Structure 1
Amino acid sequence: AHAARTRTQGGGSAGVFPQDEVSVLDGIRAELRGRARVVHVPGPRPDGPAPPLDPDTCTDPRSGLPGVLLRMLDADGRELYAERRRGGRLLEPRLVP
């Protein structure tokens, strides 16, 4: 279900409303049309809020430690700030000078 009904970012007061939206499944099918057969089997329903990130299910790719890597980038993609977090509940990172 997740590939066919892609969840866009945000929700509640952080909701975003993109002008156009393409599901992951439709994007993969469009990209591989004529080159591969794409088979989709629905998974669990994506209704309700996404579960919070926690250290048991996430690994920081830089350190290999439990948690997530938060990166803030400038408009050119240069990293301004990075930190490892143990979970995804803290809503705002510290401000970068």
Structure 2
Amino acid sequence: MAAARFLVSGKVQGVFFRAGTREQAWRLGLRGHARNLADGRVEVVVAGDAAAIEAFAGWLRRGPPMARVESVEHAAFDEVEAGGGFVIR
């Protein structure tokens, strides 16, 4: 099982980004969380199949229709910290 942490910048708060992220994670069988950060970014932590995480990363670079993603930082992450299911914090 692989895990990753993403920090997504741009117009990603108030545009249903976290809800869309949860939908994509569920669709790909990933677990983890998405949360807004005080600096305007969204943090996303996921764990699951490496190919699913790669597909998920591609979606994060686009986001939902109302979002405008400017950058996505990606780092490996300890999968134990990803938790169970996928939640919006």
The TM-score, its normalising length taken from structure 1, stands at 0.23
Bigger radius of gyration among the two = 1
Instruction: Write 1 or 2 for the structure with the bigger share of helix.
Output: 2
Which structure would you say has the larger RCO, counting Cα contacts within 8 Å and 6 or more residues apart?
2
Instruction: Write 1 or 2 for the structure with the bigger share of strand.
Output: 2
